Amino acid sequence: MNKKSGTSKASADKLVKTIRRKTRQTYSSEEKIRIVLAGLRGEETISVLCRREGISESLYYSWSKEFLEAGKRRLSGDTARQATSPEVKELRSETTALKECVADLTLENRLLKKA
């Protein structure tokens, strides 16, 4: 009997974790910015803001850190971004074509020098 209750408790815990994971609230970037700016304004404490928005303080501080670092990078002129997969494929094919062109021209140049 004890073993059965242990397995049912484990399965119940697993079910609760699955439900929490599926019902977890996701915030858009606009909502994150709104919350971080409200905290930076200082009209209310961070704990009150987080309680009202339903987020933990550690989540607020991680969003705030990301927000400020992104602003710092943008203001310093670093506008580099990650390339998307199609862009990478296109650039690789273009590089291959250019390498073939250079190889053909080098071979042609060597042949002309010999003649």
- pLDDT tens for the chain, 115 residues long, are 445 566 788 888 888 888 877 777 788 999 999 999 999 999 999 999 999 999 999 999 999 999 999 888 888 876 666 778 888 889 999 999 999 999 999 999 999 999 8
pTM above 0.75, yes or no: no
pLDDT at site 79: 65
* Closest among 53, 19, 15 to 33, alpha carbons compared: 53
Measured CA to CA, the distance from residue 97 to residue 108 in angstroms comes to 17
Residue ranges per domain, the chain? 28-80, 82-115
Of the candidates 54, 13, 26, 53, the one whose C-alpha atom is nearest the C-alpha of residue 37 is 53
41 phi and psi angles, rounded to 5 deg:
-65, -30
